[in-house]
């Protein structure tokens, strides 16, 4: 998720995401600092040679912008690295970076002259969703996918739970019968699941998990998602 924004990534091409939150913790660009103060993150997708490929109009109201909006993003901040190394894009964002911050930012992005930098700002889940969609769009649009390659991977270490924002509670990411990793039992709400998926070229083709087989663990998991032992008894036996 950190690298690709997806739990079923297509790794036939690079374009890995970078977390640059640390660059903007004391920024004067309020859109970014307010997002960080509310618990959000700032990640970027660096598009090689994207500065000339995509016009400002495409980024402000065209195809690239529309892809971001389809993911639920509220906007699409961007910067272009010019041939002389200067940054161009959202004026207030550019002016918020002093020379040291700019150098640190460009280095963390792995950006070079001619590259385009697209931002995702906000809650981690929303940011990953937006940049994952943009990553795939750019890869297809710029013909970056090597169709002679095969990308097969196991995806592991899924979290046991995810936050349900509308209901303000934790819920099971897969289902409430997936076993937690034994080393994570002391902090069950943050535990990783003994679950795994096989992904081929960005498509999930299989998966599975170890089921919970201990009563006390099952009761704790159900309690975390708001189901008491009494509710289970009534549902199953009454």
pLDDT in tens, 27-52: 889 999 999 999 999 999 999 999 99
Give the separation between CA 131 and CA 48, rounded to whole angstroms.
Answer: 15
Outline where DSSP puts E strands in the chain: 18-19, 41-47, 78-81, 87-89, 116-122, 152-155, 161-164, 169-172, 195-200, 203-209
Asked if residue 238 has pLDDT above 80, the reply is: no
Within the chain, what is the greatest distance between any pair of CA atoms?
A: 74
Collect all residues with Cβ–Cβ distance below 8 Å to 101 and sequence separation of at least 6: 23, 27
pLDDT of 130 reads 95
Domain boundary assignment for the chain: 18-141, 152-237
Asked if residue 234 has pLDDT above 90, the reply is: no
Collect all residues with Cβ–Cβ distance below 8 Å to 39 and sequence separation of at least 6: 123
Q: How confident is the model at residue 154 (pLDDT cuts 50, 70, 90)?
A: very high
Decide yes or no: CATH 3.30.1360.30 for domain 18-141: yes
Q: How confident is the model at residue 236 (pLDDT cuts 50, 70, 90)?
A: low
pLDDT tens for each residue of 99-108? 888 989 999 9
pTM for this predicted structure: 0.85
């Amino acid at each position: 998720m950190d690298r690709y924004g997806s739990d079923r990534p297509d790794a036939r091409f690079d374009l890995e995401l970078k977390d640059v939150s640390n660059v903007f913790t004391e920024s004067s660009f309020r859109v970014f600092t307010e997002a960080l103060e509310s618990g959000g993150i700032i990640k970027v997708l660096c598009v090689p040679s994207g500065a000339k490929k995509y016009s400002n109009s495409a980024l402000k109201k065209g195809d690239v912008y529309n892809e971001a909006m389809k993911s639920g993003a509220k906007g699409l901040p961007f910067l272009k690295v010019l041939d002389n190394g200067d940054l161009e894009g959202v004026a207030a964002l550019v002016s918020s970076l002093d020379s040291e911050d700019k150098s640190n930012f460009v280095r963390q992005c792995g950006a070079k002259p001619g590259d385009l930098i697209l931002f995702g700002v906000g809650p981690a889940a929303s940011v990953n969703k937006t940049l994952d969609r943009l990553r795939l769009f750019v890869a297809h649009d710029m013909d970056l996918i090597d169709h002679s390659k095969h990308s097969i991977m196991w995806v592991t270490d899924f979290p046991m739970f995810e936050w349900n924002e509308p209901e303000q509670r934790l819920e099971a990411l897969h289902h409430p019968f997936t076993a937690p990793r034994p080393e994570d039992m002391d902090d069950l709400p943050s535990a990783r699941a003994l679950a795994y998926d096989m992904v081929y070229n960005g498509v999930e083709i299989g998966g599975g998990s170890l089921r919970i087989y201990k009563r006390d663990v099952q009761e704790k998991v159900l309690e975390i998602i708001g189901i008491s032992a009494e509710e289970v008894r009534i549902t199953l036996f009454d």
